[in-house]
Amino acid sequence: MEHLIERLRKFRDERDWGQFHNPKDLAISVSIEASELLELFQWRPENSPIDKELKSALEGEIADVFLYLLLLCEKVGVDLEEIARKKIDLNEKRFPVANSRGIAKP
């Protein structure tokens, strides 16, 4: 993951885009890209297959969300892997298998 973050920093810094990457604008960008991801499913039947064209579009939008999220984490000093592990730990306690299996409602 660190190699990816370094590559992303290099890409950003070579273009002098860091000046635009404040926490507010990065969070907005995450939301915009997540909305573009969601838009790919708008008006599609619920169980329609994911064809090659849709998969390609999904990959692009998922990457955009992930990269903006990495930039936001870097800007605010958050280790994405660490907080993801902590959140899974918390959710394992909040939703024990015995009480949660097959239930969509928390």
For 31-42, b where at least 16 C-beta lie within 10 A, e where not — what string?
Answer: eebbeebeeeee
Residue indicated by tokens 């849709």: 54
Q: Which domains does the chain have, with CATH numbers?
A: 2-78 (1.10.287.1080)
Tokens of 65: 């969300």
Supply the pLDDT for residue 106: 61
What does the pLDDT look like over 46-61, one tens digit per residue? 999 999 999 999 999 9
105 has a pLDDT exceeding 90: no
Supply the pLDDT for residue 104: 87
pTM of the model: 0.90
Distance, in Å, from the CA atom of 67 to the CA atom of 30, rounded to the nearest integer, reads 9
